Each structure stands twice: as C-alpha cells, then as structure tokens.
Amino acid sequence: MNIFSSAKVVAIVILVGGLFVSGNGSFSNFFESSDLIKPAGFALITAMVAACNGALQAFDGCNNMLYLTGEIKNPGKNIPRSLFIGLSVCIAIYLVINAAMIYVMPVDKMAGSKLVASDATQIAFGVIGGGLIAFLIAFSVLGTTFSNVFTPPRMTFAMAQDNRFFKLAGRIHPKFHTPGNALLVHLGLMIVMVLSGSFFILADMYIFIVWAFNLMMMIGLFILRKKMPGKERPYRVWGYPWVPILVILFNAFYLIITLVDDIQNYMEGKTKLMNSVFGIVVTAAGIPLYYYFRRKYKNKTDTGA
C-alpha cells in the first residue's frame, strides 16, 4: 500500500506541477465558457447528476475502513477523525488536479476526452509525458484495487459467522488467520466481472447500488434511534436530525434522477442497458438467499442441530 500510495503522490505532483509550469495553458480557460456545452432545464440536472457518478465513486472508498472497525483502536474517536481528514485531503487534491487540467485544456476539449489526465500531459509534455502519467495512474490504481480486495470479504466472512451465508466462507485460515475462504469467494466474483468486459456498466451499476444502500442506512439511523433510545453511542451525528435528513433528500434525488435518466436513454435507444435497473435486479437476486439461510439455520437451531 505504501508503494502504491507513493506512486500516486508522484503522479499527482508531476501532473499538477508540470501542467502549471509547462506554459502550454491559459488561465483564461477558467473564465471562458463553451458554446457547445450549455445544457438547460432537465438536461442540466441530469448532466450534473451524471457528473456526480464519477465523484461519488471516487469518494466511496472512504468507507473501506468501516469494515475494519473491530481492528481499530478507539474507533469512536479515530474513525470520524480519519474520515474527516481523509475526505478533506481528497477534496483539496481533486480540486487542484482539476484546476491544473482546466489550465491546459478548455472544458469543451475535456468533455471530448476519454483520458483527460493523459491528454492534458500530452499537450504539456508530449507523448512521452502523457504515457508516463498514464503508467503512474494505472500503477496507483493497484493500491485502490488492493484495498477493495482486502476489505469487502470481511463482510462476507461476518455474514457467514452470523448464519447469513455459506458456513464455509466463515472459516479462518489455519496458518494466516485471515478470512481466506471469503477472499476466494470474492476472487471468483471479480474474475467473472472482469471477463464480462463491461467496466463502465459495472461502475455505473455499482455506484447506484452503493447509494441505494446508503439511503437505507441513513433511514435505518432514525429507526435504530427510535427502537433503541437508551443504547450507548460513542459517536453522535453532528446536527442530528437535520444533517441525516439533508443526506436522505440528496440521496433520494440522485437515485431518482439517475433511474429516470437511465430509463429514458434506454427508451430512446441511446443505451443498450439500463445500468441502474440491472443493478437493482442483480442485488435483488440476493433476497432469496437471505431467506434461505435464515430458514436453514433457524431450523437447525430449533432441532438442536
């Protein structure tokens, strides 16, 4: 993780510093608007929501530490602190990177680019510079991949131990003391996803479902406060209940607009698949499994097995 993070830092320093000192950009790009990109009305709203997809996906990794709560010292204090510091640093980094790229590429050119960072560095440093940045970014992505490989299997492991998944996934590796079987389950799923060759579909589907669960989680906050008013809470949400209400409203707005836009694009023939609807179907496939495991282990308990 240290090696991958170092590669990311090097890529960011070269990218930001190099773009601003290259002399191949203009600060006028920050003030000039393109006549080609001026959505209005509902198109403007859907454009803003679509732009949120990438941003929300970029920030979504912050919740990975929550899977390790049981292994963190003083989680009630350290988790909120790390989330606040980590997100603040990420926001600052993203703003600086975007500023550097806008300095080199006007907004209309950025809109037509599939690899903005690489294209911006090609303008500033030529093909070799663009290739170097592309390599460092690809290398740093391995760090994110490692983090996501390392943490989600702990959920599957916990589900298996709580009689909500196959017992085999809840076994600890005898030598390394890790959730080895759960890691193998996720490995199989990841191989299937990679071989599907549909990265953008998976990314859009993933972020939609993540925020659908975030919506349910925030609603669950109110339910738990009502059901367990006397429960000890080491950390309390700032501005409760108004902050969670604002999050719920934004979350619901984002999900509804995304769903409507996906259906509309599909109906107009612009896309071949409704990513959000497909994500709902795939996720809902786990509901029968939930009831299956609940009944299976409940029967075993009743019979004394």
- The residue ranges of every structural domain in the chain are 1-144, 152-197, 198-294
pLDDT, position 305: 40
More confident residue, 195 or 145: 195
Say what the pLDDT of residue 304 is.
41
* Alpha-carbon distance values, 246 to 50, 85, 250 (Å): 20, 22, 6
At 18, the pLDDT band (50, 70, 90 cuts) reads confident
In the predicted model, what is the mean pLDDT of residues 133-161? 80
Q: What mean pLDDT comes out for the span 178-192?
A: 89
| pLDDT, position 184 | 93
Closest alpha carbon to 167 in 278, 268, 300: 300
Do 49 and 257 meet the contact criterion of CB atoms below 8 Å apart? yes
Winning range, highest mean pLDDT, from 12-26, 45-59, 102-116, 244-258: 244-258
pLDDT of 214 over the 50 cut: yes
Is the pLDDT confidence value at 181 over 90?
yes
pLDDT of residue 33: 65
DSSP 168: G
What is the mean predicted confidence (pLDDT) over 173-199? 87
